[in-house]
Structure 1
Amino acid sequence: MTTLLLLPGDGIGPEVTAQAARIAKALTPDITLDERDFGGISFDRHGAPITDEAVAAAIAADAVLMGAVGGPKWAGVARQSRPEAGLLRLRKEMQVFANLRPALCFDALADASSLKRELVAGLDIMIVRELTGGVYFGEPRGIETLPDGQRRGFDTQVYTTSEIERVSRVAFELARGRRNKVHSAEKSNVMESGLLWREVVTDLHKREYADVQLEHILADNAAMQLVRAPTQFDVLLTDNLFGDILSDAAAQLTGSLGMLPSAALGEAGRPGLYEPIHGSAPDIAGQGVANPLAAILSFEMALRWSLNRPAEADRLYRAVETALANGARTRDLGGQLSTVEMGDAVLAAL
């Protein structure tokens, strides 16, 4: 039995994952759907942003599809109990270390980008972000009061050779199946961890992936190049912090954050975690206007990377492409369709 665990989360999360679930039931009726509370709603109901039972269900599933978590309602909750802490725990418990964030510009949406059509037409970037290390997990971290009464906040950016190598292998392997080019982004000019990152990536490339074109790029320059000439990138390899920032910047090139899915993968045989990269958008939650395509395309990635259903993944991708070509648009894309109506459009294209 193949199981897909749904973690709808907060805000617009339940609205967009519901459309992905509709697609899953229509396209792959043999897959069993399970669902658990996650994020702020889990804290409200169970006192924790994710329960031990939900974590166990995620590890036991074949793939996990989540919505988004968080919102101003939980801003005053202790850091370890905030919705985001549940997401960090889930990633760590599932041992997913490689975050795949594609930035694709469907031809029908080239004019919806904040950049000119000629800059984004044909855009196809795969950002590979390290997900379980770096400054988000480094110790020591905290906020302390100094003897003179000032407060000081501190976080630690830390990486080991093995952490860098395993995510770099994912990037190089992906590049071999694409346009055979990797840009590795860091700040080796001012950060010791960035210097180690560059040295480890260089050494691995020389040993095992000399057939792949490798270019090192400083993260701030990568941000500039994403808005100057984004189609120069094929696979963009980054650490946790810079990957978080650069992938959101790349998402806007596609026309809307509501278009971008993501996959978080671990070692072979372990379930992947799939999620749209947009947030919980509490300002529009409950209005039925959120774009569900990022969630639907996250399910497409799950079909491809964890559920071993490449034919169904291809069908779903073409259906999204067809729906957009036929003029289906939610509000963020300049249209008037509701969340459910966009789901309807994809189902019709299927």
Structure 2
Amino acid sequence: MTYQHVRVPDGDKIALADGRLQVPDRPIVPFIEGDGTGPDIWRAAVRVMDAAVAMAYGGRRKIAWMEVFAGQKSKDRFDTWLPDETVEAFREFLVGIKGPLTTPIGGGIRSLNVALRQLLDLYVCLRPVRWFKGVPSPVKHPEKVDIVIFRENTEDIYTGIEFEAGSEGAEKFLKMFREAFPKEFGKIRFPDTSGVGIKPVSREGSERLIRAAIKYAIDNHRKSVTFVHKGNIMKFTEGAFRNWGYTLAEHEFGDKVYTWDEWERTKKASGEEAANAEQKAALASGKILVKDAIADITLQQILTRPDEFDVIATMNLNGDYLSDALAAQVGGIGIAPGGNINYVTGHAVFEATHGTAPKYANLDKVNPGSVILSGEMMLRYLGWTEAADLIVKGMDGAIAAKTVTYDFARLMEGAREVKCSEFGEAVIGGMDGKPPVTPALALARKRGASVSRQSSVSSRKATKKAAPKKAAKKKAGKRRK
């Protein structure tokens, strides 16, 4: 494709062959730097990613970054929030990354993030949630949180099919609904002033999400997959999601999983003791437990016993709630990564999970951890695991040294607050085990040395001044005797 506003760098395309990514040594990767704090965060994050790749592969591999446009920057330059060529670039080059994007004001696109996911059919929102030692947390045992969320990205109420109360669309829809389903229409308490939304949940959409979650659990040696739903109330949408999930798990992965549906059947046929013994034997043989949980109960249990959850597969809205609630336990969304993936086509866009924070724009202040760790996810998705591991090591090192941005520094005793860019440098320093030294820290140390020298000089002067006084006191003492 010929691009009007995008400059394609020297490099090669990532391709998909036989269901596997074919990644060249110099892959072209589209990126959107983002709005608000996006440019600050991107500058820090891209340095970390480039350093990790260089350190891991000694110059043999390098990412060819290609800027594409969306959000406020695109609106200002091209008078459009999301140019067609941006979507086409992500489609052509398969894998990309983006910073936070503002929500357009007025009509048209409701969310640029949702639009990209739907246009590229990125049906999995992948959100790994774990704790880095030393990160401040509001819970007693954040180390127990190690959960990977597979959130369905294209269905549920996020399809945006809704009609404002009193609008022509609402009136037409409610009239049609009343005529076709009078009994169900009667359940609407105030129809004349009701807004209306539609919640589509399909078998195909549910199955491809759950299939991806179970495959991930198998490939990464996880212990369980939990379907989180509200099927006790929404039986034919969220309840169907649960039922389709169990059917798929047994039909496609029966030799690798044991489901709660199997347990229920054995209990009914042979009793609870036999069902418990069957489950115990299955898990001892290495099978993955596939279970389900009601959404509101899950929101309690991820606080009280998060170690009972491993991989979660859930619908769009539930996944939104769960992702942010879990992120709060391990440091907040400022350090939470995310990826939007279509495992069939290979397309993926990794992203910041937080907002644009415009009041901090261009202050070099905010935490770049979300995009840094989204970059780590991207590298791992490309199969560049050595570089991804270095980023994790660098994050561990920087946080362990308490070299952190303001959001963590204000909550950590003895922390050294650094800028966004300096935190990136600290992560790079932590990759090879060296203590992180940023410009601010170097200056602080220099000032500290200066203070020490001044203290030493002052101490010597004070000693000299004090010596005659001590001698005078001794003489006075002798006279008193």
Question: TM-score normalized by structure 1?
Answer: 0.91
Question: Is residue 166 of structure 2 the alignment partner of residue 145 of structure 1?
Answer: yes
CA distance in 2, matches of 1:126, 1:291: 22
Question: Is residue 177 of structure 2 the alignment partner of residue 133 of structure 1?
Answer: no
What secondary structure, in the 3-state scheme, does the structure 1 residue paired with 2:418 have? Answer: coil
Q: Give the gaps of 5 or more residues in structure 1.
A: none
CA distance in 2, matches of 1:187, 1:51: 37
CA-CA distance at 1:349 after TM superposition: 1.8
CA distance in 2, matches of 1:138, 1:340: 37
Residues 49-64 of structure 1 aligned to structure 2 (within 5 Å): 49-64=81-96
Cα distance change, pair 40–149 in 1 and its aligned pair in 2 (3 A): farther
In structure 2, the residue matched to 1:97 is: 123
Which residue identity does 1:189 align to in structure 2? N
Cα distance change, pair 149–272 in 1 and its aligned pair in 2 (3 A): closer
Cα distance change, pair 284–304 in 1 and its aligned pair in 2 (3 A): same
In structure 2, the residue matched to 1:292 is: 368
Alpha-carbon RMSD across the aligned residues, in angstroms, is 2.0
* Pick aligned residue for 2:224 from 173, 181, 184: 181
Query: Whose Rg is larger?
Result: 2
Question: TM-score normalized by structure 2?
Answer: 0.67
* Pick aligned residue for 2:39 from 11, 14, 19: 14
Q: Give the gaps of 5 or more residues in structure 2.
A: 1-11, 13-26, 55-61, 172-189, 258-287, 410-414, 432-481
Q: Is the 8 A contact 1:185 1:219 kept in 2?
A: yes
CA-CA distance at 1:272 after TM superposition: 1.0
CA distance in 1, matches of 2:102, 2:361: 12
Q: Is the 8 A contact 1:130 1:239 kept in 2?
A: yes
* Pick aligned residue for 2:343 from 252, 267, 278: 267
CA distance in 1, matches of 2:302, 2:146: 12
CA distance in 2, matches of 1:122, 1:328: 24
Quote the sequence identity (%).
28
What secondary structure, in the 3-state scheme, does the structure 2 residue paired with 1:6 have? Answer: strand
Question: Is residue 388 of structure 2 the alignment partner of residue 313 of structure 1?
Answer: yes
What secondary structure, in the 3-state scheme, does the structure 2 residue paired with 1:113 have? Answer: coil
CA distance in 2, matches of 1:201, 1:149: 35
CA distance in 1, matches of 2:245, 2:160: 20
In structure 1, the residue matched to 2:68 is: 36
CA distance in 2, matches of 1:257, 1:138: 24
CA-CA distance at 1:346 after TM superposition: 1.0
Question: Is residue 221 of structure 2 the alignment partner of residue 221 of structure 1?
Answer: no
CA-CA distance at 1:149 after TM superposition: 11
What secondary structure, in the 3-state scheme, does the structure 2 residue paired with 1:283 have? Answer: helix
In structure 1, the residue matched to 2:464 is: none
Which residue identity does 1:348 align to in structure 2? G
CA distance in 1, matches of 2:355, 2:231: 30
Question: Is residue 208 of structure 2 the alignment partner of residue 166 of structure 1?
Answer: yes
CA-CA distance at 1:133 after TM superposition: 1.2
CA distance in 2, matches of 1:349, 1:4: 25
Which residue identity does 1:14 align to in structure 2? P
Q: Is the 8 A contact 1:143 1:151 kept in 2?
A: no
Which residue identity does 2:383 align to in structure 1? N
Q: Is the 8 A contact 2:49 2:391 kept in 1?
A: no
CA distance in 1, matches of 2:119, 2:405: 35
CA distance in 2, matches of 1:206, 1:104: 29
Q: Is the 8 A contact 1:48 1:81 kept in 2?
A: no
CA distance in 1, matches of 2:76, 2:109: 10
Higher relative contact order (CA 8 A, sep 6+): 1
What secondary structure, in the 3-state scheme, does the structure 1 residue paired with 2:164 have? Answer: strand
In the alignment of these two chains, the number of paired residues is: 338
Question: Is residue 246 of structure 2 the alignment partner of residue 202 of structure 1?
Answer: yes
CA-CA distance at 1:276 after TM superposition: 2.0
Q: Is the 8 A contact 1:330 1:338 kept in 2?
A: yes
CA-CA distance at 1:268 after TM superposition: 4.0
316-325 vs 234-243, which moves further = 316-325
CA distance in 2, matches of 1:151, 1:12: 40
CA distance in 2, matches of 1:256, 1:66: 19
CA-CA distance at 1:96 after TM superposition: 1.0
Which residue identity does 1:113 align to in structure 2? S
* Pick aligned residue for 2:196 from 154, 157, 161: 154
What secondary structure, in the 3-state scheme, does the structure 1 residue paired with 2:69 have? Answer: coil
